[in-house]
Structure 1
Amino acid sequence: MMNVIWDFVRANPTVVMALCLAAAAWVSGAHFSKAVAGAVQLAIAITGIVATVGVLTTVYQPALRAMAQHTGIDLPVADVGWAPIATITWSSPYTLLFLGLALLVNVAMFKWHRTRTIDIDIFDIWHLAFTGLLALYVGAPVVVVLLFIVLLVVLKLMNADLMKPTFNDLLGDTSSLMTTTHLNYMINPLVMVLDRIYSRCSGWLDRYDIDAAALNNRIGFAGSRFAIGMYIGIFVGLLGRLGVGPMLVLGFTLATTLELFNIIGGWFTAAVDPLTQALTDKLNAHFAGQPFNIGLDWAFLSSRAEVWATANILAPIMLLEALVLPGNRILPLGGIMAMGVTPALLVVTRGKVIRMVVIGAVELPLFLWAGSLSAGFVTHATNALAGSQHLMAISAATKEGPIEQFLAITLGRCHTGDWRWLVITVVAFTVYLLLFAWYAHAMRRRNRDYTES
């Protein structure tokens, strides 16, 4: 009987995940009809993403081979952006396990007064789950991965509290309850180190900072997903010495898939809404009358023009870096608008665009390397979901949490029996925690300045 059930799970991962989501939403208090509707939307979103990725990889695989043949630049991994990666991650039942664990840690820390943040950004648990699934794929035991997830949840909640006064400053609202536990802000400690170096070497450039809103207005359509898709498609075609017709096919295909990824990502967010709302209602009822901050998606800062201006400037920089970076295997496509990079830059630099661009350009290799290293896992998971072994290698060039992905990989490798990986893992986690402790101290000092001013 167990063999029959296991065979069904392996053969129908989309159906199984949809049933798991419906059950989780219903148990959490969502109406049965809404829970079922969310499950159906999830299945549709997964099907749509898999089909769109199939189109993209079918068109780009021969073009990237031609580019490698004519230029020697071998980038066999296609960057599909955040939406397919989120869908792939949410298709795993482990994601619900990680979500339940994260909620338990959050409730415990709040009750013990170790955080003032209640995280209701249920959808974005996928970033954390992706990191855990990557560790499992590389070879880490489940228990070790669960402990790793607990550590990251604790640090993310601490970071949400540390960033709260800066968010108030950026939004111009000291009474706001909004903060975020989004994984993209866990690169803040490294960004702060680079910011200190920048202050010592090039701080005088702040006098010539850019008006981000004016820059965005000037860029206009030229910075849209459609336009960027056309630029990259034509660029790849030129490098591969393709004809005008195939070159335009590359451009229109990428432009279309970028738009589709964004639309289907919206379907996926809607699919998780019944579970999100049910859990939010439970948390609000449980902590009624207690003061707390609300953990949201990072997008409440999207009104800041610096985020988009920096992303537009970093897009061509990232493409050039990808072509020459040693060890990089991924061609930026779906994630070329570096939204996994710019929010942390905004928080640490407090909106200085030149600083954001310079520091962003320095840290972009981390994202490209992480995308290259995680490509095996992402491709394997996508092929399992699609029931196919013919998709080209895919990953995400600007997936949030590159450092956490490196840690996940070392965590898996250290269980292979090689003592060198054990040493590397211990050193890596030690440096990671010490750097976060230094960053926390610096942020508390910044927060005292906010209080005194």
Structure 2
Amino acid sequence: MDAFLNGAYAVFQAFIGAGAYVMLPFIIMVIGLIFRLPIAKAFKSGITITCGFVGINLLVNLLKSAVSPAAAAMVANFGLNLDVTDVGWGAISSVTWASPIVAFLVFEILGINILLLVLKKTNTMDVDIWNYHHMMIVGILVFFVTQNIIWAIVATAITAVMTFKFADWTQPLIEHFFGIPDVTLPTISYTSSIIIAAPLNWLIDRIPGLNKVNFSIKGVQKYLGVFGDPMMLGFILGCAMGALALFPFDQIFLTGINVAAVMVLMPKMTAMFVEGLMPISSAAQKFTSEKFGGRALSIGLDAAVVVGNPEVITTALIMIPVTILLAFILPGNRMMPLADLAVVTFRVALVVALCRGNVFRSILISIPVMAAILYAGTFAAPFMTEMAQSAGLAFDGQIASMAGPSLTQTAIIFWSCISENAIIVVPALVIAFIAIWYVVEKKITMEKIEAYAAEYDEM
């Protein structure tokens, strides 16, 4: 039996180890074949989508390479020296995939997704398997702390269901704001911010005066002319970040050029991504119309496809120094933001879409979103450090990141499941989420969400 399990685990690790660029075209092709797309068109769609995805990730990495040194320099310039270090999502991911229960949790999440699709409780068909680590880390950390596999299964199940529903509810924003139809983004580093952002956005809508303030890229272009162009704005913001980092002139200029390049090239890569998606989308609509009475299914993908939006990059570049300042002034914070400052785009992308490109409001809401991440990272640091050490990773001092249990969604579930009163707290959390589910889909209705998102097209 042990030999069989070890063999299955080795096959699974080899499949995951092949990487997104190998897995994605075949997964998309299989989906296309399920929707009765000819094999040649299905394979071409898979290759086109993957090429677009490769281009998007290359640009995201270019942005990281431009932002990371500047962010690290700003941390040093601020004199920030806290005892919990942000080691980045990559380190947390490696700890997650090294867990002995990881294969079990992958199939649990996959099974939950299939079950919800069959029961018509989600429209998200999640193919983003390599980002399952965002959902699995909760169960793995709960298992590490409690040594109770049942609580690990429960934590992962709650995380998965919440993620798929958040993806469903935010799909209209992806279609209308980002211009990508029939796609959802079940990436927790993207969806988690809605827990804080949605109530705050609702509140701001009801504050006279504040609800009228609108600063967007479209609005800036009217007043700044050529300097309001996304490429020029990226150059200005990149140079400003280099200046805050006290870089020499040539490096300031290079930082500006790199950010400008991302601003101008990202829409072209996104367009290629959408081009490959359209045959799959058309075939899916036809298939679901025939078999499921017109039910709309969406493909769940990595949130990297939206982080190159000009408003998202603008908000993120402003929020990086703001997050460093928050780490410095927030009472009780011990987390030093560092490695994950380069991917703040993922943390604010949904906020920007929810605010329909209003950069002023996006920054206003992103401040408490990022503050919550800093506090959650501080509180979870002892557990994350101990688990990383048990996996053979050595660090000086305690570690955290802006992923894993630092995200608001995963933090709530993690602390609920390791609580001394978990037997009471966890059912209360489930009941609260079911109540939100009812309110969103029965009282607010998806039609109203669709209408809210569609207003962006008229702005």
TM-score in same-fold range (> 0.5): yes
Question: How many Å separate the matches in 2 of 1:189 and 1:114?
Answer: 20
**Offset, 1:437:** 4.2
2:381 pairs, out of 357, 375, 378, with 375
**Offset, 1:186:** 3.6
Q: 1:201 to 1:384 in 2, by over 3 A?
A: same
Residue aligning to 2:370: 364
Q: Is the Cα–Cα contact under 8 Å of residues 336 and 398 in structure 1 kept in the other structure?
A: no
Residue aligning to 2:97: 90
CA deviations 1:374-430 (Å, max 9, x no partner) are: 222332233233x4655332111355732322321231122xxxx5x6555555554
Residue aligning to 1:188: 194
Q: 1:447 to 1:363 in 2, by over 3 A?
A: closer
Q: 1:436 to 1:127 in 2, by over 3 A?
A: same
Question: How many Å separate the matches in 1 of 2:138 and 2:399?
Answer: 16
The residue type paired with residue 218 of structure 1 is L
After superposition, residues 228-243 of structure 1 pair within 5 angstroms as 231=245
Question: How many Å separate the matches in 1 of 2:15 and 2:363?
Answer: 45
Residue aligning to 2:233: 218
The residue type paired with residue 297 of structure 2 is F
The answer on 1:393 being equivalent to 2:385 is no
2:345 pairs, out of 336, 339, 344, with 339
Matched position secondary structure for 2:129:
coil
Question: How many Å separate the matches in 1 of 2:182 and 2:143?
Answer: 36
Matched position secondary structure for 1:93:
coil
2:207 pairs, out of 197, 201, 206, with 201
Residue aligning to 1:266: none
Q: Is the Cα–Cα contact under 8 Å of residues 162 and 444 in structure 1 kept in the other structure?
A: yes
Q: Is the Cα–Cα contact under 8 Å of residues 191 and 359 in structure 1 kept in the other structure?
A: yes
Query: Identity of aligned pairs, percent?
Result: 20
Question: How many Å separate the matches in 1 of 2:155 and 2:179?
Answer: 36
Question: How many Å separate the matches in 2 of 1:181 and 1:449?
Answer: 22
TM-score normalised by the chain length of structure 2: 0.64
The residue type paired with residue 131 of structure 2 is D
Question: How many Å separate the matches in 2 of 1:299 and 1:341?
Answer: 11
**Offset, 1:125:** 0.3
**Offset, 1:452:** 9.8
After TM superposition, the structure 1 stretch with the greater mean CA deviation from structure 2, 183-192 or 318-327, is 183-192
Q: 1:304 to 1:202 in 2, by over 3 A?
A: farther
Q: Is the Cα–Cα contact under 8 Å of residues 124 and 298 in structure 2 kept in the other structure?
A: yes
Residue aligning to 1:118: 125
Q: Is the Cα–Cα contact under 8 Å of residues 193 and 348 in structure 2 kept in the other structure?
A: no
CA RMSD of aligned residues (A): 4.2
CA deviations 1:60-79 (Å, max 9, x no partner) are: 9xx99xx9xxx8x7620111
The answer on 1:145 being equivalent to 2:152 is yes
The answer on 1:304 being equivalent to 2:309 is yes
Q: 1:319 to 1:390 in 2, by over 3 A?
A: closer
The residue type paired with residue 193 of structure 1 is P
Matched position secondary structure for 1:294:
strand
Question: How many Å separate the matches in 2 of 1:82 and 1:190?
Answer: 21
The residue type paired with residue 332 of structure 2 is G
Matched position secondary structure for 2:196:
helix
Residue aligning to 1:177: 182
**Offset, 1:167:** 1.7
After TM superposition, the structure 1 stretch with the greater mean CA deviation from structure 2, 182-191 or 214-223, is 214-223
The residue type paired with residue 301 of structure 1 is V
TM-score normalised by the chain length of structure 1: 0.64
Question: How many Å separate the matches in 1 of 2:444 and 2:240?
Answer: 37
- Unaligned runs of 5+ residues in structure 1 are 10-15, 35-55, 236-247, 256-279
The residue type paired with residue 128 of structure 1 is M
Question: How many Å separate the matches in 2 of 1:205 and 1:119?
Answer: 35
After superposition, residues 123-142 of structure 1 pair within 5 angstroms as 123-139=130-146, 141-142=148-149
Matched position secondary structure for 1:397:
coil
The residue type paired with residue 364 of structure 1 is M
Q: Is the Cα–Cα contact under 8 Å of residues 197 and 365 in structure 2 kept in the other structure?
A: yes
**Offset, 1:324:** 1.8
Question: How many Å separate the matches in 1 of 2:237 and 2:10?
Answer: 38
Q: Is the Cα–Cα contact under 8 Å of residues 139 and 154 in structure 2 kept in the other structure?
A: no
Residue aligning to 1:442: 444
Residue aligning to 1:238: none
Question: How many Å separate the matches in 1 of 2:332 and 2:141?
Answer: 19
Question: How many Å separate the matches in 2 of 1:105 and 1:309?
Answer: 36
**Offset, 1:83:** 1.9
